Amino acid sequence: MPLALYDTWSRTVRPFTSIHAGVVGMYCCGPTVYDYAHIGNLRTYVFEDVLRRALIRNGYEVRHVVNITDVGHLTSDADEGEDKMERGSRRAGESAWAIAQRYTEAFFADWRALHLLEPTVWCRATDHITEQIGFIGELERAGYVYRTSDGLYFDTSKQEDYGFLARLDRAGLQAGKRVAVGNKKNMTDFALWKFSAAGIKRQMEWDSPWGRGFPGWHIECSAMSAKYLGNWFDLHCGGEDHIAVHHSNEIAQTQAAHGTRLANFWMHGHFLTLDANAKMSKSNGDFIRLQTLQNNGIDALAYRYLCLTAHYRSKLHFSWASLDAAQTALNRLRQLYSAGPDGGRIDPDFAARFDAEVNDDLNLPRALAVLWELVKSPLPPANVRATLDSFDLVLGLGLSDWKPVAFEIPEDISKLLKEREQARAEREWSKADDIRDTLNARGWRVEDSKEGQRLIGITTDTTDIGNE
């Protein structure tokens, strides 16, 4: 089955063919490094990594570009408030440059822990000020720029199809007055260059033909994607929260300057939620870091596995129970993989079924179902292992890197395990749960399966203890 992907621009799943034969240009919006990434952010990067792996599996060479926003992202999508980097600097009591470096390094650590493929290019906004100023100059010469007391703005009224990506109701926005206009001509106009306020020394500011200041958030992605991929490339990705503002504005800028909508396909990952109605948000102070999971004895790749259990275009509800289930499934998969000898052959039937699900707009839940059929099948273990190796090129779970670690169970821990097994046998569930909590407090997790209890050390791997 040929690769087909959902395009937000057309709102359809359509066959994917690269603009240039055999090569794909792919730009993904990266983090704003004023704080740590939360696991909701990271879900989007897992989706994009799977997309890249699927493209490679389909024979493409992928030029993958990811930006780092370290200036210009204001606290309001209406171009109000202060730069998030300046706010983060004040909160941390460090320079904006220092926190940008610290949170960028933390993001890279998360990236590696999740087995995300390294991009072809990492590009920081502060390293591309010249390109952004040049792009604004092109927009000015095309007649799309006007000046206010606080900066240069893009005039969206000059584009009849502005906001098409989001199917934006511009008339409704004007009538409802949902966004303050301020000095802007139109509610949907957005900042290209913000002037430094008089009497206030910013940490991140530059000279420009229009005055000293800093770029708006949206111009960086248009400028940097054009530099590394050209003005018309294959795929532009991000979270669904980028559709209405950030990506709509990127398209507007590139249409005005170069006559394209920037990318042939626009793809968006959906939110991770903590409850039925709310997305995970830094601004609400309710976000969970990947490190939080690891501190609670969860493997980072268990979170990756959890992300694979829901389609990237559907909401994924986070709970500790679902994460524990993902950890259990990953542990089981690792053990089944490691039990198989080398030298097997990829099963063509299972491989074809797996590829068909992946190529159907990255339907990873159904691809995982094929995987579990495979491991339960009567195929020779060596062939199961070889086929899993093939699947893992897309799944990115690092099965071949995992090695079972034997460790000695302390006598007091072994005693608690026996007491818990006895409590379970006698259906004293409350007592069994209390013992589980005691073990967890001492750095050990217990998983229950039909084979018995499985003990997991916080800093170790798994070991089976049967019905001991």
Q: Which pTM does this prediction carry?
A: 0.84
Q: What was the pLDDT predicted at 182? A: 64
Q: What was the pLDDT predicted at 83? A: 87
Higher pLDDT, 195 or 404: 195
Lowest mean pLDDT among 122-136, 164-178, 289-303: 164-178
Highest mean predicted confidence (pLDDT) among 132-146, 184-198, 424-438: 132-146
Q: What was the pLDDT predicted at 163? A: 95
6-62 pLDDT, tens digit per residue, is: 999 999 999 999 999 999 999 999 999 999 999 999 999 999 999 999 999 999 999
Place 364 in a pLDDT band, splitting at 50, 70 and 90.
very high
Higher pLDDT, 22 or 187: 22
Q: What was the pLDDT predicted at 281? A: 62
Q: What was the pLDDT predicted at 227? A: 98
- Write down the architecture of domain 319-401 according to CATH: Up-down Bundle (1.20)
Higher pLDDT, 89 or 257: 257
CATH of domain 4-269: 3.40.50.620
Q: What is the mean pLDDT of residues 62-75?
A: 93
Can you give the residue ranges of every domain in the chain? 4-269, 319-401, 411-464
Place 91 in a pLDDT band, splitting at 50, 70 and 90.
confident
**Token representation of residue 283:** 């601004």
275-285 pLDDT, tens digit per residue, is: 655 566 655 55
Query: At residue 458, does pLDDT exceed 80?
Result: no
Highest mean predicted confidence (pLDDT) among 223-227, 277-281, 412-416: 223-227
The mean pLDDT value of the chain amounts to 90
Lowest mean pLDDT among 87-91, 281-285, 333-337: 281-285
